[in-house]
Amino acid sequence: MQPTGRKHLGNYIGAIVQYVAGQDRGEAIYCVVDLHATTVAYEPAELRDSVYHTTSVLIAAGLDSERCILFRQSDVQENSELCWLLSSVASYGQLTRMTQFKDKAGAQRELVSVGLFTYPVLMAADVLAYRAHEVPVGEDQRQHVELMRDIAERFNVRFGETLVVPEARIPKVGARIMDLQHPDRKMSTTGGSEQGTVLVLDEPDVIMKKFRSAVTDSGKEIVHSPEKAGISNLIDILASVRGIAPEAVEREFEGSGYGAFKQAVAEAVVAYLTPVRERYAELRVDEGELEAILEGGAEKARAIAADTVADVREVMGVGPTHPRSGTGSSLAG
């Protein structure tokens, strides 16, 4: 997860909840990608603060450093080296077609960095270094996972079976939470509206106000439909928070007015996020403990990534000859 901006409900439902669930499916590896954050304009002091913020949110949500590996990207240099090695099989044409690159490049007036262009290759390295079998992401990251799959397959064809080709794990409900004011856009702290973006750390009264002003339509029916983007978004949010199907939400609120429905969604989200906000407040004040968690995770991550990079160097003919470690791990992250 990139440590830029405050984490919002879309991040939480689309990704963080999946991260927590991943702890129970196998060895899970999670990375706060501070190197990715340097590809756009940023303030160094704010970046460090954002790393602690993101780490605190992840732990408050339920990540347990005893049950997963949680680390800071820049602490494991093998990720960066693997990015360079994989660039030999990354397609320039594919990178030019990456939607997020085009969007972010269009917003950069002074400088479109090379780092922004090669961002997806580093993202691929962040996963392929650990021979992960699945990648828990939101719908908006599907293109990035497809690229890392292509890179792994191309590498294996060129140099022999070395890398695991991962699968995307995208939630069926809540994979794409939209802005409450502009339901045609995904919820975001950078491209979204302030009133339409529900932050994980928002106070209850702020959350209630945002949902009360959520855009709906001129109708009355609470149904999931392409013609009712605002209501459909609210249905998806409530279904995700309660862990039920959208159809169950439709049945429960059949005949209800929009006001009552928005109130119910707001109350459910407040109850959903309050434990996270309270736990975050306890964690964020102890930066020494946060550093200890990140450093401990980096040590574990480095041990795994080093074997992968050694194998990649060996088959590519880079550096001295070393025995290969093999590709038999079964990681999820």
Q: pLDDT tens digits, residue range 60-93?
A: 999 999 999 999 999 999 999 999 999 999 999 8
Buried b vs exposed e over 280-309: b needs ≥16 C-beta within 10 Å?
Answer: beebbeeeeebeebbeebbebbbebbbbbb
Query: What pLDDT, on the 0 to 100 scale, is given for residue 136?
Result: 83
Q: Which residues contact 92 (CB under 8 A, 6 or more apart)?
A: none
The answer to the question of residue 257 being in a domain is yes
Please provide the DSSP assignment of 63-97 as one string.
--TTTEEEEEGGG-HHHHHHHHHHTTTS-HHHHHT
Beta-carbon count within 10 A of 55 CB:
28
CA gap 148, 6 in Å, rounded? 27
Question: For residues 133 and 330, is the Cβ–Cβ distance under 8 A?
Answer: yes
Helix, strand, or coil here: 191?
coil
| Residue in 47, 74, 55 with CA at minimum distance from that of residue 16 | 55
| Residue in 216, 220, 236, 239 with CA at minimum distance from that of residue 228 | 216
Domain that holds residue 248: 204-283
Do 272 and 305 reside in the same domain of the chain? no
Query: What pLDDT, on the 0 to 100 scale, is given for residue 126?
Result: 96
The answer to the question of residue 185 being in a domain is no
CA gap 131, 28 in Å, rounded? 11
Query: What pLDDT, on the 0 to 100 scale, is given for residue 277?
Result: 97
Query: What pLDDT, on the 0 to 100 scale, is given for residue 183?
Result: 94
In angstroms, the Cα distances linking 50 to 145, 147, 286 are 25, 27, 14
The answer to the question of residue 179 being in a domain is no
- Tell me 236's DSSP state: H
CA gap 15, 45 in Å, rounded? 26
The answer to the question of residue 178 being in a domain is no
| Residue in 126, 166, 157 with CA at minimum distance from that of residue 34 | 126
Q: What is the largest CA-CA distance in the chain?
A: 72
Do 129 and 24 reside in the same domain of the chain? yes
Query: What pLDDT, on the 0 to 100 scale, is given for residue 175?
Result: 64
Do 29 and 99 reside in the same domain of the chain? yes
Do 82 and 101 reside in the same domain of the chain? yes
Query: What pLDDT, on the 0 to 100 scale, is given for residue 332?
Result: 38
> Which residues of the chain carry a pLDDT beneath 70?
105-109, 173-175, 325-333
Do 155 and 291 reside in the same domain of the chain? yes
The model's pTM is: 0.86
The answer to the question of residue 217 being in a domain is yes
Question: For residues 122 and 36, is the Cβ–Cβ distance under 8 A?
Answer: yes
Residue 33: give its domain's CATH number: 3.40.50.620
